């Protein structure tokens, strides 16, 4: 069967085409740019919900239940489930589907697992491009799920309009070690597995931390938004309705306060920066790393005939000259 | 296509609850640089094929120990064809009697790996097939 990879194909909602275009976004980026240009201009971006938290906190289960609550209202929802790539092999184990069995065959749900692929300096630009594709395909909400441990994850979360940070009672004092950025990135905190005996104590710790955060950050993005703590038992579906309502309230807050526009312009700015970095890496830096000239320079630095600082200045000059050639 | 872009779905159709083997394979393929989607236990043919389509995988590895391969595998292969993904390389493993191998190959399952197969052999097989 031959597939028509085109803007119409994506908009038609054919899952095979959407899936193949996302693969191109991941693997053959240059080839897919013409299609992305067309899709972006004619598409309003979906509402982005980020969800993060430590491994085993129940993120995927919560996503499953939340998505069900949205599809019950006839919404089309996509999930991008992100797992880290191995630094050694480059491979990845993508296991988020295990806990999403109930939505895996829903007709209005599209789930895609993605590996981080070890992007230097932050976010894999393919994630934003995937959001563009899914939006064009008619998904009104896109959930981005990621394990909340490092800087990379915080960057992913910052893509979202509404970010849920999930924690569990047994996390205890470990919550103190949450990266500062993660505490600030959370628009809604979810205390999952709230049926455990230590849940109320954990709720208190969370509340104190959020208040502390609040008094330290008068000028932060969320200064007029009171970050709620929603208690859930994901496996039982308890608290999902409250969570759904909290997401809706945050969305209302964003559009009322014009913050949605501000959020979006920051996301777009970041994406443009990421695309430029990607271009520079592909066209200038990577080819250079392969070249014998670069090996000579490195040898020169080792022998202290030159130094890293002078070497970089000279390399940048040669980039500029090459750029000049392109323009003429 | 380079090896690190190979995307594999490891799926467990049917009702047996033994996924040690599937997990060992998933890990092994990951360590060989592949991106492996693992769907968990007791997947229906619909779930497996839907996952294969949405994830746009190159390879599906079916692990089964319940003896229901004769019932489930043909359904999976039919559904793959229906959804236009009969180009996927489908492999099987688990406890599948030798007598059944040819029947499964006839419906399009490229290879059946018996218990005791080394990960290296499976990795080599996948890479070779992907190169063609």
**Is A269 inside any structural domain?**
no
Q: Please count the structural domains in chain A.
A: 2
Tell me if A92 and B31 make a contact (CB, 8 A cut-off).
no
Q: Please give, rounded to a whole number of angstroms, the shortest distance from the CA of B129 to a CA of chain A.
A: 18
**Is A130 inside any structural domain?**
yes
Tell me if A93 and B47 make a contact (CB, 8 A cut-off).
no
Picking from A23, A101, A115, the nearest residue to B47 by CB comes out as A101
Tell me if A97 and B37 make a contact (CB, 8 A cut-off).
yes
Query: Mean pLDDT score of chain B, rounded to an integer?
Result: 91
Q: What pLDDT score was predicted for residue B1?
A: 39
Fold adopted by B3-131:
Rossmann fold (3.40.50)
Give the distance from CA B43 to its chain's centroid: 12
Ramachandran area for residue A237 (φ above 0: left; ψ -120 to 50: alpha; else beta) = left
Contacts of A20 in chain B (CB under 8 A): 56
Residue range A100-157, pLDDT digits in tens: 888 988 999 999 999 988 765 456 889 999 999 999 999 999 999 987 656 666 777 7
Picking from B35, B44, B54, the nearest residue to A110 by CB comes out as B54
**Is A1 inside any structural domain?**
no
Tell me if B55 and A112 make a contact (CB, 8 A cut-off).
yes
Closest to B60 measured CA to CA, from B97, B85, B95: B85
Domain boundary among A259, A293, A318: A259
**Is A131 inside any structural domain?**
yes
Tell me if B30 and A111 make a contact (CB, 8 A cut-off).
no
Q: Which DSSP helix (H) or strand (E) runs through B91?
A: strand B89-94
Q: Which DSSP helix (H) or strand (E) runs through A93?
A: strand A92-94
**Is A305 inside any structural domain?**
yes
Give the distance from CA A127 to its chain's centroid: 6
CATH of the domain at A87: 3.40.50.300
Q: Let me know whether A243 and A313 are in one domain.
A: no
Q: Let me know whether A103 and A235 are in one domain.
A: yes
Contacts of A92 in chain B (CB under 8 A): 30, 35-36
Q: Let me know whether A205 and A239 are in one domain.
A: yes
Q: Let me know whether A194 and A126 are in one domain.
A: yes
Percent of chain A with pLDDT over 90: 50
Sheet holding A109-115, edge to edge: A109-115, A77-83, A141-147, A47-53, A162-167, A188-191, A229-231
Q: Let me know whether A163 and A105 are in one domain.
A: yes
Q: Let me know whether A178 and A289 are in one domain.
A: no
Q: Let me know whether A290 and A225 are in one domain.
A: no
By the 8 A CB rule, do B11 and B43 touch? yes
Domain that holds residue A176: 7-259
Q: Please give, rounded to a whole number of angstroms, the shortest distance from the CA of B113 to a CA of chain A.
A: 21
Interface test with A, best of B39, B43, B45, B120 (most A CBs within 10 A): B39
Q: Please give, rounded to a whole number of angstroms, the shortest distance from the CA of A243 to a CA of chain B.
A: 26
Confidence class for position A209, pLDDT limits 50, 70, 90: confident
Q: Let me know whether A58 and A206 are in one domain.
A: yes
Residue range A229-275, pLDDT digits in tens: 999 999 999 999 999 999 999 999 998 888 888 888 888 998 999 89
Ramachandran area for residue A13 (φ above 0: left; ψ -120 to 50: alpha; else beta) = left
Interface residue ranges in chain A relative to chain B, Cβ cutoff 8 Å: 1, 3, 15-16, 18-20, 22-23, 26-27, 85-86, 88-95, 97-99, 101, 104-105, 110-113, 115
Tell me if A101 and B5 make a contact (CB, 8 A cut-off).
no
User: What mean pLDDT comes out for the span B23-32?
Assistant: 94
Residues found in chain B: 132
Q: What pLDDT score was predicted for residue B3?
A: 43
Q: Let me know whether A130 and A223 are in one domain.
A: yes
Q: Let me know whether A197 and A302 are in one domain.
A: no
By the 8 A CB rule, do A196 and A169 touch? yes
Q: Let me know whether A159 and A104 are in one domain.
A: yes
**Is A202 inside any structural domain?**
yes
Residue range A279-322, pLDDT digits in tens: 988 888 888 888 898 999 999 999 999 999 999 998 888 877 77
By the 8 A CB rule, do A52 and A146 touch? yes
Q: Please give, rounded to a whole number of angstroms, the shortest distance from the CA of B21 to a CA of chain A.
A: 15
Q: Where are the domains of chain B?
A: 3-131
Interface test with B, best of A9, A97, A107 (most B CBs within 10 A): A97
Structure tokens at A129: 């491009």
Picking from B39, B40, B54, the nearest residue to A15 by CB comes out as B54
């Amino acid at each position: 069967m031959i597939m028509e990879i085109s803007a119409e194909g994506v908009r038609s909602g054919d899952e095979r085409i959407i899936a193949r275009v996302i693969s191109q976004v991941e693997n053959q980026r240059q080839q897919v740019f013409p299609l992305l240009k067309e899709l972006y201009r004619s598409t309003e971006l979906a509402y982005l919900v980020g969800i993060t938290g430590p491994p085993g906190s129940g993120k995927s289960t919560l996503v499953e239940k939340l998505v069900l609550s949205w599809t019950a209202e006839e919404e089309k929802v996509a999930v991008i489930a992100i797992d880290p790539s191995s630094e050694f092999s480059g491979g990845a184990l993508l296991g988020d589907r295990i806990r999403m069995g109930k939505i895996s065959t829903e007709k209005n749900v599209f789930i895609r697992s993605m590996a981080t692929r070890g992007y230097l300096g932050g976010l894999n630009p393919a994630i934003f491009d995937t959001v563009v594709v899914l939006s064009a395909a008619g998904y009104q909400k896109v959930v981005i799920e990621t394990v909340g441990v490092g800087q990379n994850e915080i960057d992913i979360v910052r893509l979202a309009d509404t970010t849920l940070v999930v924690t569990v009672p047994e996390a205890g004092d470990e919550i103190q070690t949450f990266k500062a950025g993660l505490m600030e990135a959370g628009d809604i905190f979810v205390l999952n597995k709230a049926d455990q005996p230590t849940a109320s104590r954990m709720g208190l710790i969370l509340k104190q931390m959020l208040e502390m955060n609040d008094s330290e950050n008068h000028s932060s993005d969320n200064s007029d938004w009171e970050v709620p703590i929603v208690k859930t038992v994901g496996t039982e579906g308890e608290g999902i309705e409250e969570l759904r309502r909290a997401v809706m309230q945050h969305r209302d807050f964003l559009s009322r306060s014009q913050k949605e526009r501000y959020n979006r312009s920051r996301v777009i700015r970041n994406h443009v920066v990421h695309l430029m970095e990607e271009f520079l890496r592909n066209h200038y830096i990577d080819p250079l790393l392969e070249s014998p000239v670069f090996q000579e320079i490195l040898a020169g630095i080792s022998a202290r005939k030159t130094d890293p600082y002078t070497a970089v200045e000279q390399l940048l000059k040669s980039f500029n000259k090459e750029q000049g050639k392109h323009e003429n | 296509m380079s090896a690190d872009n190979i995307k594999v779905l490891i799926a467990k159709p049917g009702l047996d609850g033994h996924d040690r083997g599937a997990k060992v394979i998933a890990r092994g393929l990951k360590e060989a640089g592949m991106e492996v989607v693992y769907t968990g236990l007791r997947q229906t043919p619909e779930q497996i094929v839907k996952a294969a389509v949405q994830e746009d995988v190159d390879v599906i590895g079916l692990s089964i120990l319940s003896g229901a391969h004769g019932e489930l595998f043909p359904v999976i292969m039919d559904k793959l064809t229906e959804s236009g993904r009969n180009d996927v390389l489908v492999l099987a493993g688990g406890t599948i009697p030798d007598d059944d191998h040819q029947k499964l190959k006839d419906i399009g399952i490229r290879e059946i790996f018996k218990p005791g197969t080394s990960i290296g052999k499976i990795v080599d097989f996948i890479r070779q097939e992907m190169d063609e």
